[in-house]
Every structure is written in structure tokens, then in C-alpha cells.
Amino acid sequence: MQWRKLNGQRIEQPLLTAVEETIRRETAEGYKLKVCIGTDSQVIGEEVHFASVIVFLREKRGGFMFISNDRNNRKMTIRERMILEVGRSVEVAYALCELLDKYNIALEVHADINTDPAFESNTALKEAMGYILSMGFVFKAKPDAFASSSCADKVI
């Protein structure tokens, strides 16, 4: 996955290195951090566009994010798309969890899945929640899943 900042600047070094440098810089400046990871997708024409984000929250001081975009030409159901979103988020969370534990930084995985059964995305809620929780991560769904439903949604 290729990562960038919101201003478009590419992150050239490996993700773990970039995240660790970010953690060191932010904690040296006195910020207490929390990391939220989420993915959103949108069908555009024949393609499914994905955006994954790593949101760094500064306690009571805002935040910023790293972004990765990807496309897929395969047709899929809404349920399959929701599970792919969660899979991408879990993949990133798994890659970062040891580093975040080392610096004692809380981690949440956000799923762009509605808890209201009236919405289509709800069909994947149980599987997504089970997957994320079984990996040992804190799970958030809509309306509390801002990393996926707000942040990633804006950068697709």
C-alpha cells in the first residue's frame, strides 16, 4: 500500500518507520495519542474505490491522518465490500499493533457498517465485529466509526 498525507505528500519510507517517527515527534511535543484505523469504499462506474486511513488523534488537540487509496475492478456484493473494507483495516492494524503497544498508544478499528438493520451495510455487522474482536482490537461501528465513515469517506 502506498501512503500519503492529507496534503498529498507521499510517505516515502516504510509505514512502520513513518508511524514511529510520527509517534516520537508528537509525544516529544507533549501530545497523548490514540490511533484509529478505518476503510471506506465507493462504487464508481465499473470500479470499487477504497480509501484506508490511519487517524492520529491528539487528546483534546485535533488530529491528522495517513491515507492509502486503491481500486478494484471486480464486481461484489455490499456484504463482500464491507468485509473487504474491514480486512484492509485489520491488515493495517495488525502491522502497527506491536509498535503502538511499545509506545502505549490506544488503537481502535472502525468499520463503516451501520448498526441499524434498515441499512444494507448491516448485513456484514456480525462478521465484521467478530473478525475485529477476534484479532484483539477495539471495534467501533457507525455512528462511532468516524475514521471510516468520515475520514476515509472524504478521501475516496
User: What confidence score (pLDDT) does residue 3 get?
Assistant: 98
- Check the CA dihedral 19-15-2-55 and report its sign: negative
In the 8-state DSSP scheme, what is residue 151?
I
Residue 36: which of 154, 155, 140, 127 has the closest Cα? 140
Q: What is the mean pLDDT of residues 16-41?
A: 98
Listed in sequence order, the residues at least 6 apart from 104 whose beta carbon sits closer than 8 Å to its beta carbon are none
For the chain, the domain total comes to: 1
Confidence of residue 114 (pLDDT cuts 50, 70, 90): confident
pLDDT of 119: 86
Q: What pLDDT, in 10s, does the model give residues 42-61?
A: 999 999 999 999 999 999 99
- Determine the pLDDT at residue 121: 81
Query: What separation in angstroms does the CA of 53 have from each of 34, 74, 125, 143, 145?
Result: 13, 22, 20, 17, 12
| pLDDT tens sequence across 77-106 | 988 999 999 999 999 999 999 999 999 999
Q: Tell me the C-alpha distance between 141 and 89, whole Å.
A: 13
Of the listed ranges 21-25, 67-71, 125-129, 134-138, the one predicted with least confidence: 125-129
| pLDDT confidence tier of residue 116, bands split at 50, 70 and 90 | confident
Domain around 17? 4-154
Q: What is the mean pLDDT of the chain?
A: 95
Confidence band for 118, pLDDT divided at 50, 70 and 90 = confident
Burial of 9 (0-12, 13-18, 19+ CB in 10 A): exposed
Q: What is the pLDDT of residue 123?
A: 83
Residue among 25, 12, 31, 76 at smallest CA distance from 50:
76
8 grid coordinates: 498529498
- Please state, for a pLDDT cut of 70, what percent of the chain lies above it: 100
CATH label of the domain that carries residue 51: 3.30.420
